[in-house]
């Protein structure tokens, strides 16, 4: 069982959903990222998703785009992020999921990247613009290095396609709460419950809901229908506001703590 | 290397590298386009609008004074004479008819020089679509007359302030809009780049340029041309001209990129000449990038060429050696702009001026029995103000 799958199983045992927290690596710089990851883990995140900043991120809303631009301006590179992951691993064993566009992996060399990512201590990779149709090379490289391969399933994904994606996935299924880019606020779409049920039919993997979740209440709702919730933009906003100031650690810790509280399920509602 | 039109693979180029939130709607476009492509009714409708609305066929004009200047016969394919003043309408019209078949009420587009934006705004007015065009702030400044035309046609022009504020950023914003509104919206993409089926679909709609030119030159000269020249940004006018000639192995295909101020990072848009393999805007192709795969800024005096990627089929034609890709500087393009205006009374778009400039540069190589076609992909009225500013800067 991978570290990511284990984190979901442990949350399940404890009667709660798993909390996945996203931050952009290198925002405002990698030194802050290195300190922030253990803080977020201690505050109750079960999995931390580290975003690789990219010049042209198609799936990101304005908040995460801006974080990426700050991180790139601070000189963040793939090598730097992997070194930071390596540093974090010496003192923190929280499962780490790397989120990136495919091009940085392609330029690094697909097999080399998988090896370097696993060596650094990453547990899985979500490549936001790599659909399963184009993923043969990556699938081989990642499974050779025991990296989880997380894919998105969208509300608009037809059932047959969802089955194909689920069959390519390991770790957990990332269910997009609504159409569009990351970050914009929205109620949970009413059709999510049906989607979860459908994915359950074709996959035994845990399901986490993300995109547009900002509030503890939304996390509670997501955890009541799925196995976990992903929160990104709301955390990134705190980092944007406080930057590298010492306050950022306390503020993020408080906020993540409030999200973690909301993952607890009332008895009998699983 | 294998071309598979069904999956949009040109050797190792092409494909669909997009977020899952876009994938289902792209599959819908793919399905709708392949159905339309096989439908005689669709083709008849397209031909009707191309003839009676756009004004096709566009003339193939023997440019006598230009021919004298370079020492062989030079024909100009006059896409500048199309309705809306460029080749872009061929594609916008085709995609609008696909969108109508799909029952989408809303169209979005990106634009650099504004020519694709104007063409899309035009067909949106023609068929009654709601229309939003994304345009970089920097391009809005450079191409003010086209912004006015789009607004006049009832289109909303949304300024793009993210990234480098030019064409590539406008594409990012349009894709984000599409992701948020997949049910109602058709993305009318302007060039032979982007995820499958766009490179194929846009090439098909633009290939009318080459089909006409091939028939016209055979009629006028009784033989095929020896060389074709066309500018390459994303590459739609060049692919449109080249496509009908790809299997005529004696016809040399020359794509002309924008060398801008020179081949240093940030100074040019010569993707095929100076870029490398990777992914941009959903397609595997050549792009300008650093060693981490971050897209590098492009530059060209011609807003329509100011793009750090290029269509995957061009990358394929380069890699197989079927086409040659060269580049000319901003200054050479501006000189050609003036030369063609004065020799032929034809003011070419700054983009098309790159093709003219490359031909002028190669005049030493051209023999008397060479037979050349240069694609004048658009008219230069939109550039008049920017050119007069640049010429004044130069002290000319």
Q: Given CB atoms, is A107 within the 8 Å cutoff of chain B?
A: yes
The pLDDT of residue B174 is 96
Closest residue to A156, CB basis, from B17, B25, B162: B25
**Chain A neighbors of B169, CB-CB under 8 A:** 56
Is B73 a residue of the active site? no
What ipTM is given for this predicted complex? 0.93
Alpha-carbon torsion, ordered A140, A143, A148, A152, to 10 deg: 20
CA distance A4 to chain B (A): 22
Are residues A58 and B280, on separate chains, in Cβ contact within 8 Å?
A: no
Q: What is the CATH number of domain A3-11+18-261?
A: 3.20.20.70
Q: Given CB atoms, is A179 within the 8 Å cutoff of chain B?
A: yes
* Segment A12-44, tens digit of pLDDT: 999 999 999 999 999 999 999 999 999 999 999
The pLDDT of residue A173 is 97
Residues 6+ positions from A88 with CB-CB distance below 8 Å: A34, A37, A38, A96, A121
Interface test mutation site (partner B, options A25, A156, A175, A189, max chain B beta carbons within 10 A): A156
Q: How many CB pairs under 8 A join A and B?
A: 109
**Chain B neighbors of A130, CB-CB under 8 A:** 17
Is B88 a residue of the active site? yes
Residues 6+ positions from B385 with CB-CB distance below 8 Å: B144, B145
Interface test mutation site (partner B, options A25, A52, A55, max chain B beta carbons within 10 A): A55
How do the pLDDT tens digits run along chain B, 396 residues long? 689 999 999 999 999 999 999 999 999 999 999 999 999 999 999 999 999 999 999 999 999 999 999 999 999 999 999 999 999 999 999 999 999 999 999 999 999 889 999 999 999 999 999 999 999 998 898 788 899 999 999 999 999 998 888 899 999 999 999 998 999 999 999 999 999 999 999 999 999 999 999 999 999 999 999 999 999 999 999 999 999 999 999 999 999 999 999 999 999 999 999 999 999 999 999 999 999 999 999 999 998 999 999 999 999 999 999 999 999 999 999 999 999 999 999 999 999 999 999 999 999 999 999 999 999 999 999 888 889 999 998 875
CA distance A242 to chain B (A): 22
Partner residues linked to A126 by β-bridges: A99, A150
Neighbours of B381 (CB within 10 A): 13
Are residues B294 and A104, on separate chains, in Cβ contact within 8 Å?
A: yes
Q: Give dist(CA B112, CA B166) in Å, integer.
A: 7
Are residues A104 and B23, on separate chains, in Cβ contact within 8 Å?
A: no
List phi, psi (to 5°) of B258: -95, 115
- Tokens 């049906």, residue? A194
User: Among A13, A14, A46, A49, which one carries the catalytic annotation?
Assistant: A49
The pLDDT of residue A78 is 98
CA distances A8 to A1, A13, A41, A205, A269, Å, are 11, 9, 14, 9, 17
Q: Given CB atoms, is A73 within the 8 Å cutoff of chain B?
A: no
The pLDDT of residue A266 is 72
Is B38 a residue of the active site? no
Closest residue to B175, CB basis, from A58, A106, A154: A58
Are residues B162 and A62, on separate chains, in Cβ contact within 8 Å?
A: yes
State which residues of chain A have pLDDT below 50. Answer: 184-186, 268-270
**Chain B neighbors of A184, CB-CB under 8 A:** 180
- Please say whether the beta carbons of A212 and A177 come within 8 A: yes
The pLDDT of residue A269 is 46
Chain B nearest-CA residue for A162: B20
**Chain B neighbors of A58, CB-CB under 8 A:** 18-19, 22, 172, 175-176, 179, 281-282
Chain B nearest-CA residue for A55: B294
- Decide the pairing of beta strands B13-14 and B130-136: unpaired
Are residues A176 and B21, on separate chains, in Cβ contact within 8 Å?
A: yes
Closest residue to B17, CB basis, from A104, A129, A184: A129
Exposure string over B50-83, b if 16+ CB within 10 A, otherwise e: beeebebbbebbebeebbeebebbbbbbbbbbbb
C-alpha closest to that of B136 among B171, B170, B172, B177: B170
C-alpha closest to that of A98 among A142, A138, A49: A49
Domain coordinates of chain A in residue numbers?
A: 3-11+18-261
Radius of gyration of chain B (CA): 19
Are residues A151 and B20, on separate chains, in Cβ contact within 8 Å?
A: yes
The pLDDT of residue A185 is 45
Task: List, as one string, the DSSP characters of B215-254.
Answer: HHHHHHHSS--SEEEEE-SS-HHHHHHHGGGTT-TTSEEE
Closest residue to A153, CB basis, from B20, B25, B176: B20
Q: In what order do the strands lie in the sheet with A207-210?
A: A148-150, A124-127, A96-100, A47-51, A18-24, A228-231, A207-210, A173-176, A152-153
Are residues B19 and A128, on separate chains, in Cβ contact within 8 Å?
A: yes
């Amino acid at each position: 069982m991978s570290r990511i799958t284990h984190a979901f199983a442990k949350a399940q045992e404890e009667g709660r959903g798993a909390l996945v927290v996203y931050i952009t690596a290198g925002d405002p710089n990698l030194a802050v990222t290195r300190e922030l990851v253990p803080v977020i883990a201690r505050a109750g995140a079960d999995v931390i998703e580290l975003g690789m900043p990219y010049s042209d991120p198609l799936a990101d809303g304005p908040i995460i785009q801006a974080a990426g631009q700050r991180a790139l301006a601070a000189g963040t590179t793939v090598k730097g992020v992997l070194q930071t992951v390596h540093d974090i691993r010496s003192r923190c064993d929280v499962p780490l999921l790397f989120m990136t566009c495919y091009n940085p992996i392609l330029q690094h060399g697909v097999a080399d990247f998988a090896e370097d990512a696993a060596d650094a201590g990453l547990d899985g990779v979500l490549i936001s613009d790599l659909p399963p149709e184009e993923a043969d090379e990556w699938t081989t490289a990642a499974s050779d290095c025991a990296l989880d391969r997380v894919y998105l399933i969208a509300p608009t994904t037809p059932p047959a396609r969802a089955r194909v994606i689920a069959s390519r996935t390991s770790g957990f299924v990332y269910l997009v709460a609504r159409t569009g880019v990351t970050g914009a606020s929205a109620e949970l779409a009413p059709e999510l419950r049906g989607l979860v049920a459908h994915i359950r039919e074709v996959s035994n993997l845990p399901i986490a809901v993300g995109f547009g979740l900002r509030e503890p209440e939304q996390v509670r709702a997501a955890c009541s229908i799925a196995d976990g919730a992903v929160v990104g933009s709301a955390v990134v906003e705190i980092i944007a506001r406080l930057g590298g100031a010492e306050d950022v650690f306390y503020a993020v810790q408080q906020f993540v703590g409030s999200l973690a509280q909301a993952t607890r399920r009332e008895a009998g509602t699983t | 290397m294998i071309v598979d039109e069904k999956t949009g693979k040109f050797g190792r180029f092409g494909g669909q590298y997009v977020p899952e939130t876009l994938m289902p709607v792209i599959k819908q476009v793919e399905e709708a386009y392949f159905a339309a492509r096989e439908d005689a009714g669709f083709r008849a409708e397209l031909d009707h609008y191309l003839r009676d609305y756009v004004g096709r066929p566009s003339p193939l004009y023997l440019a006598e004074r230009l021919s004298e200047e370079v020492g062989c016969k030079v024909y100009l394919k006059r896409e500048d004479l199309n309705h809306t003043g460029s080749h872009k309408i061929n594609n916008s019209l085709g995609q609008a008819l696909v969108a109508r078949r799909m029952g989408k009420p809303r169209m979005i587009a990106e634009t650099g020089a504004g020519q694709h934006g104007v063409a899309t705004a035009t067909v949106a007015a023609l068929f009654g679509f709601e229309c939003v065009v994304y345009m970089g702030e920097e391009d809005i400044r450079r191409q003010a007359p086209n912004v006015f035309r789009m607004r006049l046609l009832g289109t909303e022009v949304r300024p793009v302030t993210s990234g480098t504020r030019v064409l590539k950023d406008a594409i990012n914003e349009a894709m984000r809009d599409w992701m948020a509104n997949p049910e109602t919206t058709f993305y009318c993409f302007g060039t032979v780049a982007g995820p499958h089926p766009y490179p194929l679909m846009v090439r098909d709609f633009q290939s009318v340029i080459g089909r006409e030119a091939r028939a016209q030159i055979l009629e006028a000269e009784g033989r095929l041309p020896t060389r074709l020249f066309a500018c390459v940004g994303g590459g739609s006018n060049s692919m449109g001209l080249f496509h009908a000639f790809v299997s005529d192995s004696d016809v040399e295909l020359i794509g002309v990129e924008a060398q801008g101020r020179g081949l240093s990072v940030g100074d040019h848009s010569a993707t095929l000449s100076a870029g490398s393999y990777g992914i941009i805007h959903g397609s595997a192709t050549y792009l300008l990038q650093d060693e981490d795969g971050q897209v590098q800024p492009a530059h060209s005096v011609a807003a329509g060429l100011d793009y750090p990627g290029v269509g995957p089929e061009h990358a394929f034609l380069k890699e197989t050696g079927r086409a040659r890709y060269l580049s000319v500087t901003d200054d050479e393009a501006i000189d050609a702009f003036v030369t063609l205006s004065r020799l032929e009374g034809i003011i070419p778009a700054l983009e098309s001026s790159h093709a003219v400039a490359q031909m002028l540069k190669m005049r030493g190589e051209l023999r008397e029995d060479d037979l050349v076609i240069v694609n004048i992909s658009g008219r230069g009225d939109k550039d008049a103000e920017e050119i007069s500013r640049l010429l004044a800067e130069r002290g000319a």
